[in-house]
Amino acid sequence: MNNKIAAVILGAGKGTRMKSDLPKVMMPVKGKSMIKRIIDTLEELKADEIVTVIAPDGDLVKKEVAPYKTCVQNEQLGTGHAVNCAKDLLQNFDGAVLVVFGDTPLITKETFMKSVQKVREGYAVVVLGFEPDDPARYGRLKMKGDELVKIVEYKDATDEERAIRFCNSGCMAFDGKYLFKILAKIGTNNAAGEYYLTDAIEIARQMGLKCTAIKGNPKEVASANTREELAMLESYLERK
């Protein structure tokens, strides 16, 4: 594997819970849109390719991320489907591919680099985890030593699994050689009928590939779906 880094930013979400006409990733945190903050960090990381997945009416986002490439997710069919929209642009990419949610603007260059490093060590999928004060309804990361066995969604978790405090932030890193092969095997056998990116762990393991998770700072991996959460991100940035 070479030392290249690509990133896929998922930026097709609507800002409905923000009570705004702006796409969610365009909401400002201390005067700068969430997605611009992510791009700035990826530039610090010297990412070779940055692709943003946008909605069909995502012209504002397209302008915000220019000159970087965008691809359109015509239907919202889940996170796995969103990443797969970048296939034409990245299918021959040989290096680590970060998958970043456009509403998590505070993840640092150092944290992204830790994920990339694990990919370079031979892990096909690396999940950024965290231990929140209240694990609430987050997906749980089931570890066996250094190996990540699977991500269990809260609603599907047993009591024993719900007791796990290590949770999924959503951000992942993949070995580019395997990313789209893994995505091609994700199905929609779930209550929502969507392609879940979290299924990548079990699929990669079935393919004989190694998966792991690293621990991030809960404040850093925080996302914003509401204006209250946006305000929390701002206050964390101010304290930092």
Per-domain residue ranges for the chain?
A: 5-239
Q: Specify the pLDDT at position 19.
A: 81
157-182 burial by CB neighbour count: b if 16+ within 10 A, else e? beeebeebebbbbbbbbbbbebbbeb
Banded model confidence at residue 190, pLDDT cuts 50, 70, 90:
confident
Catalytic residue among 17, 120, 140, 239: 17
* Predicted confidence (pLDDT) at residue 118 exceeds the cutoff of 90: yes
**What CATH superfamily is the domain 5-239?**
Spore Coat Polysaccharide Biosynthesis Protein SpsA; Chain A (3.90.550.10)
Residue-averaged pLDDT of the chain: 95
* Predicted confidence (pLDDT) at residue 18 exceeds the cutoff of 90: no
* Predicted confidence (pLDDT) at residue 79 exceeds the cutoff of 90: yes
Give the pLDDT mean for 164-175. Answer: 97
- Are 12 and 76 spatial neighbours (Cβ–Cβ below 8 Å)? yes
Is 162 known to be catalytic?
A: no
| DSSP letter (8 states) at residue 139 | P
* Predicted confidence (pLDDT) at residue 198 exceeds the cutoff of 90: yes
